[in-house]
Amino acid sequence: MSDNIDDLVTFRENADGSMTIIERVDVSGMGYPMRCKWCGQVHDAGPVEIVQRYSDCSVWRCPHCGVLGDDRPLRWGGSFEHVPRPTSTTGGDQ
């Protein structure tokens, strides 16, 4: 594992309150990281080939699982979730 601040890290809280890393994805170099709700993989939505555009969304194939999905919010039936970039917590008063 790297110590890159651009790594997306997902944690699971254990019964004793400690945290365990369950996933670490390097999102450096990704313009718009998205997570597919079907396969769970993170990909960059910037270079994907748009299959269809509608007034409320764009549709493309997930580069990992090949399923057609759209960029509407998940609560509206979308297929991809925007992955926020990690932010640095160094410097300043804590």
Q: What is the pLDDT of residue 53?
A: 94
Q: What is the pLDDT of residues 5-41, one digit of tens each?
A: 444 555 556 778 776 655 667 777 888 888 888 888 8
Identify the burial level of 66 via C-beta atoms within 10 angstroms of its C-beta, where 0-12 means exposed, 13-18 middle and 19 or more buried. Answer: exposed
The reply to whether 94 falls in a domain is: no
Q: What is the pLDDT of residues 58-69, one digit of tens each?
A: 999 999 899 999
The reply to whether 2 falls in a domain is: no
pLDDT surpassing 80 at residue 75: yes
Q: Are 29 and 2 in contact (CB under 8 A)?
A: no
Domain count, the chain: 1
Task: Find the radius of gyration of the CA atoms of the chain.
Answer: 16
Q: Are 59 and 51 in contact (CB under 8 A)?
A: yes
What domain range includes position 69? 7-82
The reply to whether 43 falls in a domain is: yes
The reply to whether 90 falls in a domain is: no
Supply the pTM of this predicted model.
0.64
What lies within 8 Å, CB to CB, of 83 at 6+ separation is 8, 25, 27, 33, 34, 35, 42
Residue 2 or residue 82, greater confidence: 82
